[in-house]
């Protein structure tokens, strides 16, 4: 079983889980949003894996890579999607979407990019690197409270040492 097949199985299992959660809680809006994300993940997986040749790396290794700025844009989108996913994950089925509650983490999303930007160099990035950074950015967005707690603890330590 190769990576795309594993990803499709995982996406399918997530869709089955979300369907069961919908049947139990009847949260139609949450169900539709999650299914849209899963469909987008399946489409992106299908798109990037079709271009890979037999001897090429997965997600289509190419002669020309991505520059740093588009990679940062992809990471910012990943963080925003992670924040939205965390909000949906923690919301009850009866809750309505409160856009104002999303404003706080979205405003600080550039701060969450700092650890990831530090890993970039001036060279070009291959598609697999960009996908990996997007997944890490999604993770940073999903766990934004923990990331900021770690950053503020580091700042307090630096102030105490000076």
pLDDT attached to residue 74: 87
Through-space distance between the first and last CA atoms of the chain, rounded to whole angstroms: 54
Specify whether 154 is located in the same domain as 107.
yes
Query: Which residue segment(s) compose the domain that 121 sits in?
Result: 61-162
Specify whether 42 is located in the same domain as 69.
no
The Cα 73–Cα 41 span in angstroms is 18
Does residue 56 lie in a domain region?
no
Q: What is the pLDDT of residues 66-103, one digit of tens each?
A: 778 888 888 888 888 888 888 877 776 556 666 677 77
Helix, strand, or coil (residue 125): strand
Specify whether 111 is located in the same domain as 78.
yes
What's the predicted TM-score (pTM) here?
A: 0.54
């Amino acid at each position: 079983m190769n990576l795309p097949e594993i990803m499709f199985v995982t996406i399918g299992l997530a869709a089955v889980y979300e369907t069961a959660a919908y049947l139990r809680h009847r949260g139609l809006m949450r169900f539709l949003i999650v299914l849209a994300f899963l469909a987008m993940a399946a489409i992106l997986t299908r798109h990037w894996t079709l271009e890979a040749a037999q001897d090429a790396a997965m997600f289509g290794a190419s002669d020309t890579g991505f520059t740093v700025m588009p990679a940062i844009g992809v990471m910012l989108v990943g963080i925003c999607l992670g924040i939205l996913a965390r909000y949906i994950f923690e919301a009850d089925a009866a809750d309505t979407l409160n856009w104002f509650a999303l404003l706080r983490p979205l405003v600080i999303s550039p701060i969450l990019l700092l650890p990831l930007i530090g890993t970039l160099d001036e060279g070009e990035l291959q598609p697999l690197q960009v996908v990996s950074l997007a997944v890490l950015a999604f993770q940073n967005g999903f766990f934004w409270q923990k990331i900021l707690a770690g950053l503020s603890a580091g700042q307090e330590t630096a102030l105490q040492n000076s």
